Chains A and B, each alone.
Chain A
Amino acid sequence: KNEVEQSPQNLTAQEGEFITINCSYSVGISALHWLQQHPGGGIVSLFMLSSGKKKHGRLIATINIQEKHSSLHITASHPRDSAVYICAVTNTGNQFYFGTGTSLTVIP
């Protein structure tokens, strides 16, 4: 069983749609991270959060510690948002556990 589960695995959306990617985890964490990986590119850290909600531009990340669940929302999606979005958690030993990622394609 994976410590971090993401859904959906693949997502196709029309430009402008509101997108939600979900992440559930089973270990105790010190922080949860949302990462973005473009094809052939490196990984960019989008958010690190341990409670509540964070917003950056059109991206919003929320976390519910009690339910061990986080969501990444993209408002007014754009083709340049097409990428793999990865949820990762850090436990108190500073070890990372990664989800397998959600591949997002936004169609113009």
Chain B
Amino acid sequence: GAGVSQSPRYKVAKRGQDVALRCDPISGHVSLFWYQQALGQGPEFLTYFQNEAQLDKSGLPSDRFFAERPEGSVSTLKIQRTQQEDSAVYLCASSAHREGETQYFGPGTRLLVL
């Protein structure tokens, strides 16, 4: 497909379980972003990659959150020992180059931690 895809679309996890969320950006896009959107809130920045380099991870809420993009294309956001407060929609976006570019968003992964 031509857009950003994410998988799974929905994930239910038991508290304490580890989860991995996948993002396939638009082919050739340099920049990739992860956001967390709680119910009724706007998205909150988590982390940003330029190619395989993670340039900003200041938004990751704890050391249980880890993101990687080893080959500069697909990215994985991993959450270890999930907690109920991790329940949210996790959005991935990509843009062609660097600053201020239009970002193209994926459909999101809705995570529910029970």
Contact = CB atoms under 8 A, between A and B. Distances in A.
B109 to A, nearest CB: 11
A94 B42 contact: no
Given A42-B106, A95-B56, A96-B35, A48 B100 contact: yes
Interface string B54-76: 01101000000000000000000
Give the dominant DSSP class at A's interface. Answer: strand
Contacts of B42: 4, 86, 88, 98-101
B105 A94 contact: no
Contacts of B48: 94-95
Interface string A35-55: 100000111110010100000
25 contacts: A31-B99, A31-B100, A33-B103, A42-B106, A42-B108, A44-B105, A45-B102, A45-B104, A86-B42, A88-B42, A88-B43, A90-B100, A94-B31, A94-B48, A94-B55, A94-B98, A94-B99, A94-B100, A95-B45, A95-B56, A96-B33, A96-B43, A98-B44, A100-B41, A101-B41
Interface of B: 31, 33, 35, 40-45, 48, 55-56, 58, 91, 93, 98-108
